[in-house]
Amino acid sequence: MKSTSLCCLVVLLTTGVAHSAEAETAEGLAFFESKIRPVLIRECYGCHSEQTGNARGGLTLDTQQRLLIGGTTGPGIVPGNLAESGLWRAITYQDIEMPPQGR
């Protein structure tokens, strides 16, 4: 479940929008708040959040802007380019392994 939710986050943030902007925004926001943010809080924010005072690797996941900027290893999310999105590479254990305690 955890991996599925994180994967959905990356897909949501890296794909283009083909539907009504208002509907997509409302649906996407509802999905993010109910399915993705809880996983980020539980699995990621302890080490990657301005609210907790941690930004390991220079990465905070508190805002979309911070996800786009990323950290010392590059951008967390690259819209339209999953392979270059650091968050995707980390949760699929390609470059680094996040969360470190297990997939």
pLDDT 10s per residue in the chain (103 long)? Answer: 455 445 445 554 544 434 445 556 888 888 888 988 888 888 888 899 988 888 898 998 888 888 889 999 899 889 889 889 988 888 888 988 777 777 7
Would you state the pLDDT for residue 17?
39
Would you state the pLDDT for residue 25?
82
Would you state the pLDDT for residue 1?
47
Whether the ω angle into residue 100 lies within 30 degrees of 0, i.e. cis, is: no
3-state secondary structure of 88: helix
Q: How far apart are the first and last CA of the chain?
A: 10
